[in-house]
Amino acid sequence: MVDNSLPQWNPEEFIVKTNELESIIYEQDSLSILAGPGAGKTEMLAQKTIYLLEHDICPWPKKILFLTFKNEASKNVKDRVLKRSPEANDRFLSKTYHSFAKSIVDRFRLSLDENIRPNAGYDVIFKGKSDKNKVHISDVIKYASAIIKNNGKIPILYQECFTHIFLDEFQDTTLQQYELISLLFLNSQVKIICVGDLNQSIMLFAQAYPEIYRLVETDFKPKRKLLISNFRAGVKIKEFLSHFQPFVEKGVFNQITPHKNNNCTIHHFNDDINESEFITDYVLNKIASGFSPEDICILTRQKSSNYSAKLCDRLNNKGISNIVYDTFQDAIADPLGIIFSLILECALIKSPKAWSELLNLYIELNIIDENNDSDNNKLITFIDYFSTTKKATAFNDYKNVLDFITNIIDHIGLNLIKSKWPQHKSVEHTKYIWTELAKQLHKIYSNNIDRETIVMNFCGKQSLKIMNIHKCKGLEYKAVILIGFEDEAFWNYSDDNFEERCVLYVAFTRAKEEILITQSDYRDFISGGRKKTSQEITSKLRDNLIDKCGFILHLH
């Protein structure tokens, strides 16, 4: 029951005020939340943040810290909060664990022992060993924890700054990350709000601690809450998940004979040519029925580019926009990727929204006061430079476009970007992001398509997405097609392997209306299409999906 003495929560009309959600919003203590797929976790985080700020439960000038694993997730939640409450901008700090840890190292590095203390302006590297001029990414959190242990005043500073710490995808948290949070906030008044889904714990391979919820409940004593109402899936998908979820949790299917489910199908092909023809026809039919290409997602267990090569050729021949999200997905969500995309859009098409966002970025980075004549002149100079350079550039060539984007970023100020987003102080990180962006732009330009389509394809708008399963967490589509359901892709699968069961759960819970699974006896990239694929490991699960979950098998 909600305490009537608490300030009232009055969300927008489109928010469904379930008892679960109200219980979480109104709770004043630390929380340990188990969220189900499609339950609106991101919106819940935004609503909780706004409630805390607007009702001074987080009193000015204190802040809320949101920690997650990927830049994309960090940006998504920040955007959601600011869309609901623009004034929260200065009081909601959204960071990845590594960027947060790096901010501690940058600020207090002199507290580190001299033998490991990096020099000012050190680089973050992804290969090699740490030294005075560079710190390996895996050492950043370790160094931050060492700093806190060496200086007992640092936790007090952070406890004075923040009232609430949100820990996203908490089931994937490593012991090293958890130690950092504990060193800063254990035995304080700061509230910890950890949110995740144990059934989506697919980062165990990256040392995530499988009993992390028990650890936080012992240390911080949060109240347990459930958020399991699934608003994403349609009736047919919910019906399937009700049969599949017990298997994910226990490794055993319930002994219930389900109804046949026309929205959940398995398709077996002789080769990947037939597979690609079928999927392309399926996509065309869906588009004809009113789907957008971006309503459909192709998932693979691994090697998305290899498994989708034939399919991409076929889709391109039929004029269906598609994009393979591999390393590019991280690049496009990076701050540099966002700036790159905005410049590209403003260069190639008329887009008032993109132009407004680009100018706002310039104003923010350069700390422009539009009431100051000198600052105003600086902004006008940038606008004139953009316009003049755009008129002088022939955008029919990929290299010209890349040079244009480079010039605009130089004019905005790469040093300002580095100051705003510390990850770009790493030359290696910036080079990696830039290479991925340039590679994708070159690939799209090679298709000789019009400017608007180039922008749409690069930004992923109106495009069918193709990605590995571990890239799709938090996303949703009307139709999900899992291709390559063979032993070569699922070589580590076993009914006893909780992590692998979770991988499939993540894939299936991305779908709102339909799930398709494909198998092929021969694939061109496997032994040149001469060796038959193995389906010994996956056949048992396939049969259980048919017998215990209602999937329908189609032999082509």
Answer yes or no: is 36 a known binding residue. yes
Answer yes or no: is 319 a known binding residue. no
The predicted structure's pLDDT at residue 474: 65
Buried (b) or exposed (e) across 67-83, using 16+ Cβ within 10 A? bbbbbbbbbbbbebbee
Answer yes or no: is 39 a known binding residue. yes
For domain 235-321+462-555, give the fold.
Rossmann fold (3.40.50)
Instruction: Please give the single-letter amino acid code of residue 55.
Output: H
Answer yes or no: is 38 a known binding residue. yes
The predicted structure's pLDDT at residue 310: 94
The predicted structure's pLDDT at residue 200: 55
The predicted structure's pLDDT at residue 31: 92
Q: Please state, in angstroms and rounded to a whole number, the distance separating the CA atoms of residues 24 and 33.
A: 8
Residues of the chain with pLDDT under 50: 1, 199, 201-207
| Distances in whole angstroms, Cα of residue 470 to Cα of each of 76, 200, 299, 423, 466 | 17, 10, 9, 23, 12
Q: Please state, in angstroms and rounded to a whole number, the distance separating the CA atoms of residues 309 and 306.
A: 5
Answer yes or no: is 42 a known binding residue. yes
**Domain residue extents for the chain:** 19-227, 235-321+462-555, 329-459
The dotted CATH code for 19-227 is: 3.40.50.300
526, 240 Cβ separation under 8 angstroms: no
Burial label for 24, CB within 10 Å (0-12, 13-18, 19+), is buried
Burial label for 5, CB within 10 Å (0-12, 13-18, 19+), is exposed
124, 429 Cβ separation under 8 angstroms: yes
